[in-house]
Chain A
Amino acid sequence: MRRGQPRPTLRGLRVRIGGASRVFLRDQPLAAAGGLLVLLLVGVALAAPRLAPFDPYELHVDRKFAAPSREMLLGGDQLGRDVLSRLLFGARISLYVGLTSVGIGVSLGALVGVLSAYAGGLTDLVVQRLVDALMPFPPIVLGLAMMGVLGSSIHNVVLALVIVLMPGAARTLRAQTLGVVGQEYVQASIALGGGTWRLIGHHILPNVMGTYIVLATMTIGHAIVAEASLSFLGVGVPPDVPSWGAMTTAATLEHAARGPWLAVYPGLAISLVVFGFNLLGDGLRDVLDPRLRG
């Protein structure tokens, strides 16, 4: 497919990426804004220890429900911990869970989808029935059940999300792969004696890569919300870990009157970050995978 084109050089690649990002900025301003939000999240997550004014775990007994002040910009929580510091460190939890669960879950699911579509026959049938059997579980219910058995820890959250995310990715990538395999040039390549790996590596992967990238980007947002929801319900990360979801738990009815700020900031942070990933994913879809465009 790429034959006849000059081999890409590093300089050429740089020019192409530079040009592509300029075009992306011009044509997809919303997506660029989303990318900025994502970069902000990464920046905050990396710099949290430098930015945070307090230790996020440190209890200040005299500051329980302290109103926002010059010293504690976003106030204190029900145990007197600094909300701003916990918010900044919370970016690390969200980013970690989002990247690892999607990196493993969506990639494994995608691999299963591609191989299942390529293998066809009985393998495909069995794999698809398994995917069918996983689809009717609402992610939050499946996640809850698994966390209930596994016990709260950040690694268990990732494990649960990997299992939750796999079937959707497998289904999407399988459909894409079937579309590619049906194309005439792929059939031609098979007729010419192209081997399995040549087919997968040269024809299928390049063609489903766009879908994979878009799906992964969008799913990071879902995964972040899922972690926050599980932690909100008390079965995600352990309660002392500064997760945005767990921080919102403190803001339910019990404390509604005493610390309204507890409800606002963590939820706002999640929404902004997920909004960023969704905008970016939407823009990437327009660029990389016009077939999916709405």
Chain B
Amino acid sequence: MWRYVAKRLALFVPTLLLVSLVIFGIIHVLPGDPAVLLAGGAEGLAGASAEKLAAVRQKLGTDQPLHWQYTRWVAGLVRGDLGTSFVYGTPVIDDLRARFPVSLQLAVMAFVVAHLIALPLGCLSAVRRNSVFDYLARVATIAGVSVPYFWLAVLIVYGLVRVFGWLPPLGYQAIWEEPWTNLQQLVFPALALGAADAAFVGRLTRSAMLDVLREDYVRTARAKGLADGSVVWRHAMKNALLPVATVSGWSFGRLMGGTVITEAVFLVPGMGSLLLDGLSRRDFPLVQAIVLLVAVVVLVVNLAVDLVYAWLDPRIRYA
């Protein structure tokens, strides 16, 4: 087991480096010059004289060669310096410290919502294969996969406003300060985000469960006269959850991404709205830092899932 852990951890560092290179590449190699926007303001290139442009570029450090910019960025990252905002001139990490917990809580809540719906639905659907329930659940999950996050979020806002004449309190209160306000603020965004993902995880749970139910040991369990419930919950369910766990890891990544949309609709001041803000102002250090942070969270979650998976299933760590 320890050898497997060491191998995975050793692979983690080069992956992180490649990930940072991808972000840097996307921001810097694609056409578009932030200096033009910052120097020229709303008029674009027309409002920026050559000297002004050069001055802004020098200030931002974008006049340096790319490999130098990248090295400086990574060197900063290693020291815990995520960069300095082009627009405000403040360290990016200050903004992230305030915004990141909001998005993380939203994603975790959505994750819980998704799995509370998906696991029972998928299992029951597999156990009662080809029943009316199964059929409805399958159509519902395909439909659920098809509904875009943002539409569901907009519909929920509409429902709240028009039917109940109520809106979640704006802003964000930390859960340990104002638990009730915090939940009011985040429950509905989490529902909007989680419901769509529930369909995806539910479909996988069903197929994983069906695979396991066909296994010999399940037949043996039935043959020795165990009660149906015991076969399903003790023998089948545990094994079916393994492949689901892998998908859940990626599902968390999708949810982290989905927070951008949900936060925009519910006006939640999280990292997603910070990202949109950063993009509209071409504040690339901010954008770079947020995208990197999201990717790192996804990587860490998936690493954790893989390690748990290997711990639960010896076949993985010896493969």
Most-contacted residue by chain B among A145, A233, A271, A293 (CB, 10 A): A145
State whether the Cβ of A140 lies closer than 8 Å to any Cβ in chain B: yes
Contact A267 B294 (CB under 8 A): no
Asked whether, in the complex, the Cβ of B279 is within 8 Å of the Cβ of A133, the reply is no
Which among A134, A147, A225, A278 is the interface contact of B142 at CB below 8 angstroms?
A278
Q: Is A248 an interface residue, CB under 8 A from the partner? A: yes
B-contacting 9-mer, from A63-71, A104-112, A148-156: A148-156
Task: Count contacts between A and B, CB distance < 8 Å.
Answer: 160
Determine the distance from Cα of A263 to Cα of B154 in the docked complex, in whole angstroms: 7
- Verify if A200 is at the interface (C-beta below 8 Å from B): no
Interface-forming stretch among A54-62, A115-123, A204-212, A253-261? A253-261
Q: Which of B18, B147, B210, B264 contacts A129 (CB 8 A)?
A: B18
Chain A residues with CB under 8 A of B294:
137-138, 141
Which of B51-59, B82-90, B216-224, B254-262 touches A? B254-262
Q: Which residue of B lies closest to A293 (CB)?
A: B207
Enumerate chain B residues within 8 angstroms of A214, measured Cβ to Cβ.
none
User: Which partner residue on chain B sits nearest A266 by CB separation?
Assistant: B151
- Does any Cβ of A come within 8 Å of B127's Cβ? no
Q: How far is the CB of A135 from chain B (nearest CB, A)?
A: 8
CB-CB < 8 A to B258: which residues of A?
138, 140
Interface presence of A139 (CB below 8 A): yes
Q: Does A228 contact B (CB under 8 A)?
A: yes
Contact A260 B158 (CB under 8 A): yes
Q: How far is the CA of A74 from the CA of B21 in the complex (A)?
A: 48
How far does the alpha carbon of A267 sit from the alpha carbon of B253 in the complex, in Å?
A: 24
Count, chain A residues at interface, CB 8 A: 50
Most buried by B among A148, A221, A293: A148
Residue from B18, B142, B143, B279 within 8 A of A132 (CB atoms): B18
Residue among A132, A136, A271 making CB contact with B148, cutoff 8 Å: A271
Could you say which residues of chain A place their CB within 8 Å of the CB of B18? 129-130, 132-133
Tell me, in angstroms, the Cα distance from A271 to B32 when the chains sit together: 34
A130: which B residues are within 8 A, CB to CB?
18
Is A169 an interface position by the 8 A CB rule? Answer: no
Contact residues, B273-314 vs A (CB, 8 A): 275-276, 278-280, 282, 284, 287, 290-291, 294-296, 298-299, 302
- Is A133 within 8 A of B155, CB to CB? no
Q: Which residues of B contact A145 (CB under 8 A)?
A: 23, 26-27, 279, 287, 291
| B158, A138: Cβ atoms closer than 8 Å | no
Within 8 A of B (CB), among A145-177: 145-151
User: Does A45 touch B at the CB level, under 8 Å?
Assistant: no
Q: Are A146 and B30 in contact (CB under 8 A)?
A: yes
Tell me if A136 and B146 are in contact (CB < 8 A).
no
CB closest chain-A residue, reference B16: A133
Q: Compute how far the CA of A235 lies from the CA of B206 in the bound complex, rounded to whole angstroms.
A: 36
> Given the complex, which residues of A lie within 8 Å of B276, measured CB to CB?
144, 233-234
Residues on A with beta carbons closer than 8 Å to the beta carbon of B260: 140-141, 144, 233
- Interface residue? A82 (CB, 8 A): no
Q: Nearest-CB distance from A229 to chain B (Å)?
A: 6
**A215 contacts chain B at the CB level, 8 A cutoff:** no
B64 interfacial by beta-carbon distance below 8 Å: no
Residue in A closest to B19 when the chains form the complex, CB atoms: A133
What 0/1 pattern do residues 1 to 45 of A give for CB contact below 8 A with B? 000000000000000000000000000001000000000000000
B154 touches A274 (CB 8 A): no
| In contact, B264 and A136 (Cβ under 8 angstroms) | no
Residues from chain A with Cβ under 8 Å of B280 in the complex: 148, 234
| Cα of A146 to Cα of B288 in the assembled complex, Å | 11
* Interface status of B7 (Cβ within 8 A of chain A): no
Interchain nearest-CB distance for B158 vs A (Å): 6
Residues on A with beta carbons closer than 8 Å to the beta carbon of B204: 294
Q: Quick one: which of A140, A147, A221 contacts B261, CB cutoff 8 A?
A: A140
Question: Residues of A contacting B210 with CB < 8 Å?
Answer: 294
Would you give the shortest CB distance from B200 to chain A, in whole angstroms? 11
Contact check, B150 vs A248: say whether CB atoms are below 8 A apart: yes
Cβ-defined contact, B143 with A275, below 8 A = yes
Which of A136, A149, A225, A272 has the most C-beta atoms of chain B within 10 angstroms of its own C-beta? A136
From A30, A148, A245, B282 is in contact (CB under 8 Å) with A148
**Chain B neighbourhood of A141, CB < 8 A:** 256-257, 260, 275, 290-291, 294
Q: Are A263 and B143 in contact (CB under 8 A)?
A: no
Residue from B21, B26, B261 within 8 A of A146 (CB atoms): B26
Interface residues of chain B, those whose CB is within 8 Å of chain A, are: 14-15, 18-19, 21-23, 26-27, 30-32, 139, 142-143, 145-151, 154-155, 157-158, 161-162, 167, 203-204, 206-207, 210, 253-254, 256-258, 260-261, 264-265, 267, 275-276, 278-280, 282, 284, 287, 290-291, 294-296, 298-299, 302
6 nearest A-B pairs in the assembled complex, by CB-CB distance: A138-B257, A294-B207, A267-B151, A133-B18, A148-B279, A274-B146
Instruction: Beyond A149-B27, A149-B284, A256-B162, list 9 extra A-B contacts (CB 8 Å).
Output: A136-B299, A137-B295, A150-B31, A232-B148, A233-B276, A263-B155, A267-B147, A270-B148, A271-B148
Q: List 28 A-B contacts (CB under 8 A).
A: A129-B14, A133-B19, A136-B19, A136-B299, A138-B254, A138-B257, A138-B294, A141-B260, A141-B294, A148-B282, A149-B31, A229-B150, A232-B150, A252-B154, A252-B264, A252-B265, A256-B161, A257-B161, A267-B147, A267-B151, A267-B154, A270-B148, A271-B146, A271-B148, A275-B142, A275-B146, A294-B203, A294-B204
